[in-house]
Amino acid sequence: MPLILLHTEIAAPVERCFNLSRSMEMHVLSMKESDERIVGGRTSGLIEVGETVIFRARHFWITQQHVGKISEMDFPNSFVDTMISGTFKSLHHLHIFIKKENCTVMKDEFFYESPLGVLGKLADYLFLKKYLEKILKERNSLIKSYAESNQWKTILV
């Protein structure tokens, strides 16, 4: 099962980073490139533990649907989103937030398992893991940008 580990330092309070990370509006903004939209479940505001969200997006020229659920939450330290159904065989994303003196360290532990057995593993090796890492880095960059400026106020009202 491939694992993507990311660490992003953000000069903002841990609560702000945590809430931006679970904001439906921030998620949609961060996924503009794939034309991702929320089509069901929690559609706006801050997703909470036990809630689901249904996304529809285009990746690799194919429209895909993903149903995710927040399976665990420890405000403002961590939360887990888990795929209920979608393209992957499995997907588990642990979001960790560590309060430091002058910043928040946002960590991602993103586990996924591709479908299609050997073909899926070949896709992981050739392009899929890099593609997913790029998406996560772009999302984290946007969260950082909003959290470190006054833009967060347009999301967290």
3-state secondary structure the chain: CCEEEEEEEECCCHHHHHHHHCEHHHHHHHCHHHCCEEEEECCCCECCCCCEEEEEEEECCEEEEEEEEEEEEECCCEEEEEEEECCCCEEEEEEEEEECCCCEEEEEEEEEECCCHHHHHHHHHHHHHHHHHHHHHHHHHHHHHHHHCCCHHHHCC
Domain ranges, residue 115: 3-155
Across 1-6, average pLDDT: 94
Interval 112-137: pLDDT, tens: 999 988 988 988 899 999 999 999 99
Query: What is the pLDDT at residue 146?
Result: 98
Query: What is the pLDDT at residue 154?
Result: 96
Bridge partners (DSSP) listed for residue 68: 53, 83
Query: What is the pLDDT at residue 33?
Result: 80
Which CATH number goes with the domain that contains 112? 3.30.530.20
Q: Give the confidence band of 142 by pLDDT, cuts at 50, 70, 90.
A: very high
Query: What is the pLDDT at residue 103?
Result: 96
pLDDT beyond 90 at 155: yes
Domain tally for the chain? Answer: 1
Q: Which tokens belong to 135? A: 């998406």
Query: What is the pLDDT at residue 57?
Result: 81
Query: What is the pLDDT at residue 52?
Result: 97
Query: What is the pLDDT at residue 16?
Result: 98
CA distance linking residue 46 with residue 140, whole number of Å: 17
Interval 48-104: pLDDT, tens: 999 999 999 887 788 888 999 999 999 999 999 999 999 999 999 999 999 998 999
